[in-house]
A and B are shown apart, each in its own frame.
Chain A
Amino acid sequence: MQPAFSVIFLTTLIGAAQGLFLALYGAELTGFGGLSPEDGQHLLITGSLVALVLTGLGLIASFFHLGHPERAWRSAAMWRTSWLSREVIALPLFMAGLFVYGGAHFLGLGGTLWIGASVVVLCLSLFVCTAMIYASVRFLQEWASALTLVNYTLLGCASGLTLATALAAILGASDLAAAYAWGAGAFTLLAFFTRVASLMRNARLKPKSNLQSAIGIKHPRIVQKAQGFMGGSFNTREFFHGRSSEVLRSVKWTFLLMVFPLPLLGLVLGVNAASAAVLLIAFVIQYVGLLAERWFFFAQANHPQNLYYQTIS
């Protein structure tokens, strides 16, 4: 598939925001790791604001994917059948939840644990909706797997926790930052195993369709001599990444390096040196790595329609 940058930014930004919110709520549940209630409150308000900004940026990015952004409101209509429609509902709900959660802390209202719990539900359902947009397309076998759901969730949590670590360090809560760093490390490691598992699965994937089933002729040797046109079309634009396999391979190693070992190193260094800057750099590296990861996720998916568009002559 041709990687769509609007969607790459959308999924990575909201993933980080969701992970950040889960980290914030986790801190509230566990009593802020020795932080004073005022400082904890401050962290939750700032963190909710950051998460809200990230989801807002993601939402803006998603509009660039649409041919008719002014009709975007229509896309909530088919929530009974379409995961995309469900995401369109789940994302604003999660944003509203973040706003209410952060606002309740800001105004010092009670019952924030309960508000937070319901936002957790919204957050997790957003993970499911986002990932199922891809996992539910059975024709893209690289995506049609439970690992897609697991990876979206774990990678979102990992980047969100790394961001929470940096945020806690910036606000001077070094104990909490250390605790977050443990969480970020654990999720990064966990995500490493599941992402590598999906890479291994995809490497061994056997395409369900072939040229024989595509045109219904059972001869073992079929060669396309002409795809029917010499110029380009949507079929040649949307479904090919247009890069060489070397580029694909280098993007894969780039994201494997930038999403997993480098941020882990940054977390260890940053916590030991109590340096918020290093932790922030760790998050930036991981986020850029996730952009590469999402690009690769798209580029690796091979659509069966490509069987029909192989030869120009």
Chain B
Amino acid sequence: MTQLALVIDLNVCVGCHACVTSCKQWNTSGSAGALTDFNPYGADPNGTFFNRVQTFEVGEFPNTQTVHFPKSCLHCEDPPCVPVCPTGASYKRAEDGIVLVDYDKCIGCKYCTWACPYGAREFDEDRKVMTKCTLCVDRVTDTKLPEPERKPACVLACPANARLFGDVHDPESVVSKAIAERGGYQLMPEWGTRPANHYLPRRKTEMRIHPEDLERVDNPRKIDGQQPELGHRTPGREDFAT
């Protein structure tokens, strides 16, 4: 079974909010829109967003790390927001695991938001229905788009490539490999919601220099014995060593 999801690399995210604005732009003009803003240019603006980038400071000065933390709907594998919906407007698609709201069925009772520990759902005060991240279902399933563009708007916008998109149930997918190799984790595992979205933790950045980086080992002239390897820092070495 397919479970589409995002994998967000906290080691790479620079907190530029490009994913936030591209999400807002795509979804306000796409099939999920419009995402209503109240008083957007006034003193007390109020808006609807499917995606946020938050900033946390970890540690005590001077040993602190600034962590930029993008958060959108995690498309839980056991979504607590779905069974509580009285109308069935909130549902999880069987074919790709995306959690969606049927805007024509939603009565706007907001009960689903109480049942989401992540605060991923936002009530649209203009249309009076519950809205949420659709994982750009209108993009990722659009066969008229070229294959590389069938990704959520936030993923395409990320300049640092901190957002990966794919099927977390396919062990060969980019996202599954990233989760397995780089310690991908889920948010609030204590609630047993099994979020499909994963986060890749910060890593220690180390500089690794291999001998191959300094010296070309497959130099054919060296292999043939035509050109003896000169000693380190002797003149002329750089002519053929690299």
Question: Which A residues are within 8 Å of any B CB, using their own CB?
Answer: 1, 65-69, 71-72, 74-78, 81-85, 88, 133, 136-140, 208-209, 211, 213-217, 219, 221-235, 237-239, 303-306, 308-309
Contact = CB atoms under 8 A, between A and B. Distances in A.
A221 B57 CA distance: 8
A226 B49 CA distance: 16
Nearest to B67: A217
Given A78-B83, A214-B188, A217-B201, 15 more contacts: A67-B128, A71-B105, A74-B88, A74-B107, A77-B87, A84-B84, A85-B87, A138-B191, A217-B58, A219-B58, A222-B58, A224-B54, A227-B54, A228-B20, A237-B46
A85 B108 contact: no
B33 interface: no
A305 B119 contact: yes
Q: DSSP majority for the B interface?
A: loop
A138 B114 CA distance: 10
A305 B113 CA distance: 10
Given A68-B129, A219-B58, A88 B47 contact: no
A219 to B, nearest CB: 5
28 contacts: A65-B109, A66-B108, A68-B129, A74-B89, A82-B86, A88-B86, A133-B111, A139-B114, A209-B191, A214-B188, A217-B58, A217-B201, A217-B202, A219-B59, A222-B56, A222-B58, A224-B57, A225-B66, A226-B55, A227-B54, A232-B45, A232-B46, A233-B46, A234-B125, A235-B119, A238-B110, A305-B116, A305-B119
A209 B117 CA distance: 9
Interface of B: 17, 20, 44-49, 52-60, 66-67, 69, 71, 80, 82-89, 105-111, 113-119, 121-123, 125, 127-129, 185-191, 199, 201-202
A139 B187 CA distance: 14
B54 A228 contact: yes
B87 A74 contact: yes
B47 A231 contact: yes
A217 B122 contact: no
A205 to B, nearest CB: 14
Q: Lowest 8 CB-CB distances: which A-B pairs, in order? A: A67-B108, A305-B119, A67-B128, A231-B45, A228-B52, A75-B86, A81-B83, A85-B86
A13 to B, nearest CB: 18
B55 A225 contact: yes
A291 to B, nearest CB: 20
A216 B82 CA distance: 24
A67 B107 contact: yes
A305 B118 contact: yes
A109 B75 CA distance: 56
Contacts of B84: 81-84, 136-137
B109 A213 contact: no
A208 B67 CA distance: 23
Given A81-B83, A216-B201, A227-B54, A68 B107 contact: yes
A239 B104 CA distance: 25
Contacts of B53: 228
Nearest to B104: A71
Given A75-B87, A84-B111, A231-B46, A208 B191 contact: yes
Contact of A78 (B88, B186, B199): B88
B106 A221 contact: no
A216 B109 contact: no
- B17, B109, B122 interface centre (most CB from chain A within 10 Å): B109
A116 B212 CA distance: 89
Contacts of A83: 84
B86 A234 contact: no
A213 B122 contact: no
Contacts of B118: 304-305, 308
A228 B70 CA distance: 9
Given A68-B128, A215-B67, A305-B118, A225 B56 contact: yes
A233 B88 contact: no
